[in-house]
Amino acid sequence: MLDTRNEIHRLMRRFEFDSGRAVLKFSLCALAAYAAAAWPEHPGLGDAGRCSLGIVMLGAGLWITEAIPAFAVALLVIGLQIITLGREGGVLAETGDSKAWEDYVRPWSSPPMWLFFGGLVLARAAERTGLDRHVAGRVLAWTRGSPSRLLPAVMALAFVFSMFMSNTATAAMMLAMLRPALASLPEGSKTARALLLGLACAANLGGMATIIGTPPNAIAAALLEDDAPVDFLRWMFLALPPALLLFAVVWALLARPLIREKSVLPPLQEAPREGSGVRRWQRLLTLAVFAVTVLLWMSGEWHGIPTGVVAFVPIVALSMAGVIRKQDMRAIDWDVLILLAGGLSLGVGIEKSGLAEWLAGLVQQAEMPSWQASLVLCLIAGGISNLMSNTAAANILLPVTLVIAQAMGGDADVTMFVVPVALACSTAMALPISTPPNAIVYASGRLRGTDYLAPGLLTLVLGPVLALGWCMIAG
């Protein structure tokens, strides 16, 4: 016979610490969100706007405190918007409108979602076939163990790989290849410190350069779709120059101690393959599909095929060839896609509820120059991204940024606001917990938390200025 009391006590002890803390965080966030939305007067903001404000505040609090997983917050945001804003007879949907809720799930099928999904499939194919490790091994062999040549090679590889695949996967792969060299270096080695910091920073910065490089970019492109569409090539034109400048600055900072370094490191080795059964022709096919897909994305102005449609090329071709199997589909970062959908859905709610118009009125009352408002938003984005997921930060800030941009007026102003703020989310790397690449290299045990401050604070301050300045010149 089951002793229910003992069983309950056993389960309670099991979840006593983690679940209790999560419930407390969730409750405090919910209370703060309700207070922010319901208690102040908020002149000019209707019931729908107050509901939307409460949802935004709740999402922001949960993302910052990490009371529940980030993807769960995104699903909660979508669900709350459907219940409060989209249900028939709700505060926003009129009675008889039984399909209003579809507005909040429609982002799931939007072109940026398919574009980002295509990028994840390409990255998974490169990992499974070993194409990424093969290219990295060839390039790193060129360094011949020289620290002064190894640092820029490692950073350049991490930068390029992160343009098209997860920066987390990039950092993990490159760190595995560097382990033999790191093991030969003494504790406190300046070379080891430079290599690890360079790897993390380059992996973070590379994601800025393409729409599929990091989720904030895809969120920004989706929000700009109606006002000032930004295709794959135009995003590179706006984002690659500031990313390369930041790359050069970080490299110059980290390379200074290595100028007089004369030691020779042992040969690097390829990381072990993820699995067997991959044939040479599949690796070559992956390379060909990768090249064709990127070329189609970059030449959209000439052939007229939308970037979201081009994403079907790698999805279909690599699946038909057996490069992408069902277990590979399961291994794709679905939580990132859910986060992306949650951010886009949040933007829909802010616009439809009247919260966007209300926020725009507040900005107009401030009478702040457009460039100054954009710079402030960029610095805020970089600051909070150091403390939470940059995707979550983008989910909170980018819809509001779009509203402010529209209040300032002009398509060029919209781009000048949204793109720099999205890029600023990727300049946050001042703490070990700021980004997954930072955490991965910190786990090696060769870095201290203070080691991140110099490159991290430099990118945090310089990044928004470069991103905004270039967008103003090129926009």
Q: Is the pLDDT of residue 342 over 90?
A: no
Classify residue 72 as left (phi > 0), alpha (psi -120 to 50) or beta: alpha
Mean pLDDT of the chain: 82
Give tens-digit pLDDT for 12-28.
444 444 567 888 889 99
- Residue that has been written with the tokens 């091994």 in this structure: 137
Give tens-digit pLDDT for 19-74.
678 888 899 999 999 998 888 888 888 888 899 899 988 988 888 787 888 889 88
Tell me the CA distances in angstroms from 462 to 167, 330, 420, 432, 470, one per residue in order: 21, 39, 12, 19, 12
Q: Is the pLDDT of residue 3 over 80?
A: no
Q: Contact at 8 Å (CB) between 214 and 164?
A: no
Q: How far apart are CA 129 and CA 314, in angstroms?
A: 14
H/E stretch holding 86 reads none
364 C-beta neighbours (distance < 10 Å), count: 12
User: What pLDDT, on a 0 to 100 scale, did the predictor assign at position 190?
Assistant: 84
Structure tokens at 11: 């389960």
Structure tokens at 355: 């919260």
Q: How far apart are CA 213 and CA 391, in angstroms?
A: 12
SS3 content of the chain, % helix, strand, coil (to 5): 75, 0, 25
Tell me the CA distances in angstroms from 215 to 111, 323, 375, 388, one per residue in order: 13, 24, 21, 14
What is this structure's pTM?
0.79
Q: Provide, rounded to the nearest whole percent, the portion of the chain with pLDDT above 90.
A: 25
pLDDT band at 92 (very low <50, low <70, confident <90, very high): low
DSSP secondary structure code for residue 69 in this structure: -
Nearest to 159 by CA among 208, 194, 125: 208
Structural domain boundaries of the chain? 111-215+231-331
Give tens-digit pLDDT for 182-231.
777 777 788 889 999 999 999 999 999 999 888 899 999 988 887 788 88
Higher per-residue pLDDT: 145 or 396:
396
Instruction: Give me the mean pLDDT over the 239-245 stretch.
Output: 95
Higher per-residue pLDDT: 365 or 314:
314
- Of 17-21, 41-45, 150-154, 249-253, give the range with the top mean pLDDT: 249-253
User: What pLDDT, on a 0 to 100 scale, did the predictor assign at position 4?
Assistant: 44
User: What pLDDT, on a 0 to 100 scale, did the predictor assign at position 145?
Assistant: 64
Q: How far apart are CA 472 and CA 403, in angstroms?
A: 19
Q: What are phi and psi of 66, to 5 degrees?
A: 55, 40
pLDDT band at 410 (very low <50, low <70, confident <90, very high): low
Q: Is the pLDDT of residue 8 over 50?
A: no
Give tens-digit pLDDT for 350-404.
878 888 778 777 766 666 778 888 888 899 888 888 877 788 888 888 888 888 8
Nearest to 100 by CA among 115, 90, 113: 90
H/E stretch holding 241 reads helix 232-255
User: What pLDDT, on a 0 to 100 scale, did the predictor assign at position 205?
Assistant: 95
DSSP secondary structure code for residue 39 in this structure: S
